Amino acid sequence: MESLPIDRGGLPIMVPKGEFFIFKTTNISSTAANVLKQQMLSIGGECAVSKFVATCSVKESPVILMGTRRHFLRLIESLKNQYFGLGKFREELIEFFEDIKENKVFRVAEKEFDLSKKTIIMGILNVTPDSFSDGGRYLNVNRAIEAALQMEQEGADIIDIGGESTRPGADPISIETEQSRVMPVIEGIQKHSKISLSIDTVKSKVAEEALKNGVSLVNDISGLNFDEEMANIVSKHRASVVLMHIKGNPKNMQENPKYENLVDEILYSLSSSVERALNVGIEKDKILIDPGIGFGKEWKDNYIILRYLKEFKSLGFPILVGPSRKSFIGNLLDLPVQERVEGSLAAVCCAIMNGANIIRVHDVKETVRAAKVADAIVGRV
């Protein structure tokens, strides 16, 4: 509209009429669902409920509301004095429209990443003997440091260092073993570079040692759920955090993972992780969410996640996606780990087109190039 010779004063009135939203919720009483349907229809929106709501022959119903921002603002106003639990529902709607204003900046220590300008690339550095893709490759400290510096030269913005394999079926290791793998590498990288460093761990003691020694980002595959002290440690050090979804744990996560509603369940879990992070004082612009590609999902589930990635924007936080070389690509293409670069790049571009802000990968040089093209298509240049 800004390209048209229109009265600029009319933009605030017209824009809300052109933004369309779909809001889904569950466990609404039939009485409340009836009220919502009538209210939404009366203002020109739409509301889908169970066909049994009209006769109240079911106790509860899922509800899908559809309308422009203007419709929802009018609905929020109309629910001010309603009963049947709709006061709480109104608060959830208000919170939804506040959260949907996605952070455009992600902060790691003193560094600010402008997410409107480019996709952030996180390079993977596994200093483990048994990771699925590069296990054993970087056990030598000097070789690991060289790999990190090479990824920085190729365009990585962040290096994610992991000392414990989280591949399917992996056994946990001790805190001491994990620290002995990652700390020399962390210290060595910092002698040569100022690149932002991330620690990939679920252990608060490992995270704290890393945070005391220059790391500013914790990548927790459990979404703060495996170690009850992790949230407090991240907050204490004013660090940034990646909150990932996982079903189960690395040892058992691929033992027939099933979902009634894949995206809804991941959203609910991530929402709980976000709430925990905010409650202990982790700053909003230091939080990333990750739907957990390959972590407790059947291989076809990962394609559904990428297809509906935009739905995770409803939480109001930047999205990190890590599809690199994973088995959902290998299963589709029937290729071993080292031959999944093209499939990984296709997943990366799809993720960017559907709203991903940060991509975690092994193949940095190729991903930086692909992401630059995808960024140009979505207008991030």
Q: Which residues are catalytic?
A: 326, 360
CA end-to-end span of the chain: 21
Quote the radius of gyration of the chain (alpha carbons, Å): 23
- The kind and range of the H/E element at 217 are strand 217-220
Torsion-angle region of 27 (φ positive above 0: left; ψ -120 to 50: alpha; else: beta):
left
CB 276 within 8 A of CB 222: no
Q: How many CB atoms lie within 10 A of CB 186?
A: 24
- Grouping H, G, I as helix, E, B as strand and the rest as coil, residue 280 is coil
Sole residue written with tokens 């390959």: 294
The residues facing 25 across adjacent strands are 63
| Helix residue spans in the chain (DSSP H) | 11-18, 30-42, 69-78, 86-99, 141-154, 175-190, 204-212, 230-236, 262-279, 299-307, 327-333, 341-353, 364-378
Angle, helix 175-190 to helix 141-154, in steps of 10 degrees: 50
**DSSP letter (8 states) at residue 319:** B
**Which whole-number Å values give the CA distances from 133 to 125, 126, 289, 355, in the listed order?**
11, 9, 23, 26
